[in-house]
Amino acid sequence: MQTKGRSRHFIYTDWILIETQFDPEQLHSKETVFTIGNGYLGTRGSFEEGYPHALPATFIHGVYDDVPVVYTELVNCPDWLPLIVIVNGDRFRLDQGEILSYDRQLDLRQGLLIRALRWRSPSGNTIDISFERFASLADPHVLALRCHVTPVDFEGLIEIQASINGYPENQGFNHWEELDQGKINQGIWLQRRTRASRIELGMAAKMTILGTEAPLQVNTAPGYPSLSTTFLAKTQQTVTVEKLVTVFTSRDIETPVSAAQEKLTHLSDYATLLKAQRQAWDEVWQQSDILIEGDSTATFAVRYNLFQLLIAAPRHDDKVSIPAKTLSGFGYRGHIFWDTEIFIQPLFLFTQPAIARNLLSYRWHTLPGARRKAAHYGYKGAMFAWESADSGDEVTPRWAIGSDFYGEDVRIWCRDREIHINADIPYAIWNYWQATGDDEWMQSYGAEAILDAAIFWGSRVEFNSEQDRYEIRGVIGADEYHEFVHNNAFTNRMAQWHLEKAIAVYDWLAHKFPERATELEQKLKLTPEERSHWQDIIAKILFFYDPLTELIEQCEGFFQLEDINLADYEPRDRSMQPILGIEKTNKCQVLKQPDVLMLLYLMRESADFPYNEKALQTNWDYYAPRTDITYGSSLGPAVQAILASDLGKSTAAYEQFMQALMVDLEDNRGNTNDGIHGASAGGIWQAVIFGFGGIQLTKNGPVANPHLPPGWTRLKFKLHWRGKWHDFDLHQGQVAQDITRQLEFLQLSLSPDPPNSHSQVSEHQTSPPASPASPASPAPSSSSLPATHNPNIQGFIFDLDGVLTDTAELHYLAWQKLADEEGIPFNREANEALRGVSRRASLMLILRDRPYSEAQIEEMMERKNRYYVELLQKMTPEDLLPGAIALLDELRQAGIKIGIGSGSKNARPVLEQLGIMDKVDAIADGYSVQEPKPAPDLFLYAAKQLGIKPEQSVVVEDAAAGVEAALAAGMWAVGLGPVERVGAAHIVLPSLAGIKWADLREQLSNISRQKQ
């Protein structure tokens, strides 16, 4: 896949994604990234006012329709977003006029998308416009949008038009027939029906204007009903527009139009709906959140990937499932793959099992389609579609049109040959049953799917009488680079595993629900001879495996294929298949995604054959170097991250994890415009929980054997198992976290600070080790020194601002701009008081006793940070202060570890802009600890990351608060700047220019001797 290497203009906080600049070239991929939804529908992050060539879309679960002859696809539903602002005759659009400031935020905690900008019209009128929208999680049929407009430098007419666009397209095809539309007392409505599937949709909308007198007019242009108003706007006067929308389909209710109208009539105002939205999301995050400390990027990005799956998960419908691209894009036409069962479902299985049950019930509802597919190919039982839509019939396109207009179309063989999905779905059903103990669902739904799919295998295998073995020939395995192979290890072993479990399910059913067993025997024509046949297949299926080395051959003859070295093709920006060509790739030992390793992963939890540690190591060594992990399938990196973690390959595990984690945020495969990589997002959850958290499922419940990545100081999450919640709070170096009360008591009793007898500790919570932010011994006074005659210095911790680079000037300029906008006096002299002070504390010093609400304070902090980041993006290595690089290089050559201790949340971007990330061993930034300087927490955290003791650390600071923090941590302090500011440091220097490590070491030794 072609990739694009350019800035995404993103800032990540713990919960909020911030886009700082609009880039038209990234329009479509950003529309995907800023998708919102509520489990009923998803709406791409398109602009309310529109943009040329945009791809706005709202997808509703289960609303499929046919493109005649070609394919079935999830339908783009009528667009509820349109809100047009016209300023003195100039229509607001980002491709016209001038963008003076821009900020777009996706708030994961609330499911809220916000965009704020300042725009100058072609006529020269400047206006502040902000948009805010959400799809209600509290009521899936409700959508809400709010807009604020504030003229900055003019008075004039502003017109607002709020519409429903009844002409949505699926990239050139409109699936909707016009039925009716009209107006009601409070708004407008639209009625549409899909052309082939005959699904009816009703949508209604109303608009409210706050802040001025503005009468509404209704325009019912065909297919585009609108509400509009015009008012005289005054300078600095804010007018608010609220647009509320309701939507139903005939899948939900018999009369969707009247349902939409009725709900709209009784709908609360925007503020009330937003409050309900926050409460609903709070409940979801209580179950599903993952807390990571020590890695600010992962903290946000893990939550982002979870969010994209949470908004795509059907909460109230068991006849739909999550498409491969979720509800966020046109990729794969909204079809459902094995991605859902193997990669996505585990998140819900262990956090919201009712949703996991819905996803699996969908497969039961599609059994008729699976039976039709089996019969079409001449087999018995149920043959699940490789790509499924509403009915379960195969919807994989037979042909793909190539990019070369004169080239041949490409045959898509997955529909015929990639049959391992027939075992993947039973695998997910079995795991649901094991994790929930839901016998009622299993006997009513799951058992039938497992047994009927097993009947398929009985008819699909071929008996090789010469070898007295069963074969499965002519398939595509999990590795899709090889399109016609025999006895693929993944397929054969999964089929064998499936038959083993089918026999177990039948025996359980016959024992516990004999009437249901008899019913299924008759319905499926399941005879004793069939079950005996399954036993024979289990015993005799071919599996190419060396019992001495435990190396598994991916498929028959794989080891005889041409072996190539992927490194010989670097650098590259696309997958190996287009480089080699389809035929050449088929003849080489190069993989699209891990096939044998994927098998080992699925057998890992239960330690079923062929999984064991030796087999994993042997097959990793062989197959990992042959896997096109960077540009092949997005399904691979998360799985390899887990297995690498099992093998103790922490660097490789983290690299693969980050590759999966940032696939959409960084668009590192160049195809985010098609939609979210749902399987990768689900794999991320598994990598964190099963990989880094080391969760193993025992008969008594989940047990954690954590091996956190370097830098992660804490990992906290909860899992639902057999009707109970299990809380895990994991830390670096922590012993295995068991679920038994005896071990919990032992762990608590050994804790440095055990809870008192009145404390309530969760059943599966271990008390964490003493935090580096709270040392057990009292902090030394500012006059204390590390107790040693000859300091054994092992590491240096540098502040950023005023030490390695002069970002203090950028902070000053950002604060100055904010102060000017707010009309607050501020100058360089006042800025001196802000050195080493947190953002909030700095703002409070600037505001003094001026009254501002907490919301206004939060907004000003974000605004100042936005200004700072804009300035920061212009930094280069030339902005390093004199002497910085020379000292860093000298310390590294001397074997001294180097850390950064900066209270800024932008420390990492600064280091990247300066080009010195490779010179730093650890970073402690504004995300790392709660208490800012002068508390010692930040430097203690940095020392722990470096693996050194406080007394072995030297802190280099330019602020009094930083020096005080270093001394409180029991570290050596080097102060840069005037004595009146940093005179409490052990050594005071004007700057780093000309400073040598040998000179510093000698001075510190002299000071130590003098103090003894």
pLDDT tens-digit readout, 216-239: 999 989 999 999 999 999 999 999
Q: Say how many C-beta atoms besides its own lie within 10 A of residue 466's C-beta.
A: 5
Distance CA 547, CA 618 (A): 11
pLDDT score of 781: 33
Judged on CB neighbours under 10 Å (0-12, 13-18, 19+), 67 is: middle
Instruction: Note the residue count of the chain.
Output: 1012
The answer on pLDDT for 739 being more than 50 is no
Q: Sign of the CA dihedral 9, 12, 17, 18? A: negative
Q: Above 50 in pLDDT, residue 771?
A: no
Whether residue 350 has pLDDT greater than 60: yes
- Cβ atoms of 715 and 692 closer than 8 Å: yes
What pLDDT score does 185 carry? 85
Q: Express each pLDDT in 23-56 by its tens digit.
A: 999 999 999 999 999 999 999 999 999 999 999 9
Confidence class for position 774, pLDDT limits 50, 70, 90? very low
* Cα separation, 791 vs 723, whole angstroms: 56
Is the confidence at residue 402, as pLDDT, over 80?
no
Distance separating alpha carbons of residues 237 and 150, to the nearest angstrom = 6
pLDDT mean over 560-567 = 93
759 has a pLDDT exceeding 50: no
Distance of CA 15 to the CA centre of its chain: 11
Angle between the 489-512 and 596-604 helix axes, to the nearest 10 degrees? 30
Please compute the mean of the pLDDT values over residues 339-363 and round it to a whole number. 98
Q: What is the mean pLDDT of residues 828-849?
A: 81
Sign of the four-CA dihedral 888, 893, 896, 900 = positive
286-295, 375-384, 553-562, 781-790: which range is least confident on average? 781-790
Residue labelled with tokens 């700095």: 842
Exposure b/e, 484-501, CB count within 10 A at least 16 = b: ebbbbbbbbbbbbbbbbb
Predicted local distance difference test score (pLDDT) of residue 956: 96
If pLDDT is split at 50, 70 and 90, which confidence band does 1006 have?
confident
Using alpha carbons, select from 92, 211, 98, 86 the residue that is nearest to residue 157.
Answer: 86
Both tokens of residue 380?
């018995």
Question: Residue 497 has what pLDDT?
Answer: 98
The answer to whether 717 and 289 have CB atoms below 8 angstroms apart is yes
How large is the average pLDDT for residues 645-661? 93
Residue 842, pLDDT score = 87
Looking at residues 421-431, what average pLDDT do you find?
A: 98
Strand partners, 704: 695, 737
Lowest mean pLDDT among 66-75, 137-146, 415-424: 66-75
Residues 6+ apart with CB under 8 A from 249: 60, 62, 63, 199, 200, 201, 202, 256
Highest mean pLDDT among 398-412, 577-591, 898-912: 577-591
Place 830 in a pLDDT band, splitting at 50, 70 and 90: confident
Q: What percent of the chain has pLDDT over 90?
A: 75
142-151/239-249 β-pairing: antiparallel
Which helix (H) or strand (E) covers residue 163, if one does?
Answer: strand 156-163
pLDDT of residue 927: 74
Tokens 């999680």 belong to residue: 137
| DSSP three-state, residue 209 | strand
Q: Rounded CA gap, 671 and 677, in Å?
A: 9
Residue 579, pLDDT above cutoff 60? yes
Note if 980 is an active site residue. Answer: no
Query: Please, are residues 82 and 165 in contact by the beta-carbon 8 Å criterion?
Result: yes
Q: What is the mean pLDDT of the chain?
A: 90
Provide, rounded to the nearest whole percent, the portion of the chain with pLDDT above 70.
93
> Buried b vs exposed e over 471-483: b needs ≥16 C-beta within 10 Å?
bbeebbbbbbbbb
Name every residue whose Cβ is closer than 8 Å to that of residue 30 and which is 6 or more positions away in sequence: 19, 23, 45
**pLDDT band per the 50, 70, 90 thresholds, residue 939:** very high
Bond preceding residue 610 cis, omega within 30 of 0? yes
| Pick from 210, 295, 189, 125: nearest CA to 945 | 295
Q: How far apart are CA 782 and CA 787, in angstroms?
A: 14
Task: Provide the pLDDT for residue 904.
Answer: 83
Q: Which residue has the tokens 């007198």?
A: 213
Q: Which residue has the higher pLDDT, 749 or 657?
A: 657
With bands split at pLDDT 50, 70 and 90, how would you rate the model's confidence at 788? Answer: very low
- The conformation of residue 532, written as its DSSP 8-state character, comes to H
Which pLDDT score is estimated for 389?
Answer: 97
CA distance 295 to 688: 13
Mean pLDDT over 313-321 rounds to: 97
Q: What is the pLDDT of residue 614?
A: 94
Q: What is the mean pLDDT of residues 839-854?
A: 84
- Round the CA-based radius of gyration of the chain to a whole number and report it: 31
The answer, yes or no, to whether residue 128 has pLDDT greater than 60, is yes
Mean pLDDT of 191-215: 96
Contact (Cβ atoms closer than 8 angstroms) between residue 982 and residue 958: yes
Note the pLDDT of residue 698: 86
Amino acid identity at 519: E
pLDDT of residue 804: 93
Band (pLDDT 50/70/90 cuts) for residue 850 is confident
Task: Give the mean model confidence (pLDDT) for residues 517-541.
Answer: 97
Contacting residues for 966 by C-beta, under 8 A, at least 6 apart: 797, 936, 939, 955, 957, 972, 973, 985
The pLDDT assigned to 746 comes to: 33
Does pLDDT of 854 surpass 50?
A: yes
Determine which one of 19, 200, 418, 480 is catalytic.
480
Give the mean model confidence (pLDDT) for residues 631-642.
Answer: 94
Please state, as a whole number, how many other Cβ atoms lie within 10 Å of the Cβ of residue 725: 14
pLDDT digits (tens, 9 = 90+) for 678-711: 999 999 999 999 999 999 998 888 999 999 998 8
Residues 6+ apart with CB under 8 A from 108: 15, 16, 17, 300, 303, 304, 307
Q: Give the residue from 904, 907, 930, 938 showing the smallest Cα distance to 920.
A: 907
Identity of the highest mean pLDDT range in 58-72, 108-122, 739-753, 940-954: 108-122
Q: What is the dihedral of CA 265, 270, 271, 277, to 10 degrees?
A: 90
Q: How, if at all, do strands 98-107 and 112-120 pair?
A: antiparallel
What is the DSSP pairing of strand 795-798 with strand 897-901?
Answer: parallel
Residue of 933, 814, 809, 924 lying closest to 865 (CA atoms): 814
Q: Which stretch of DSSP H or E encloses residue 856?
A: helix 854-872
What is the DSSP secondary structure assignment for residue 546, as one 8-state letter? -
pLDDT band at 735; cut points 50, 70, 90 = low
Residues 362-377 have pLDDT tens digits of 999 999 999 999 999 9
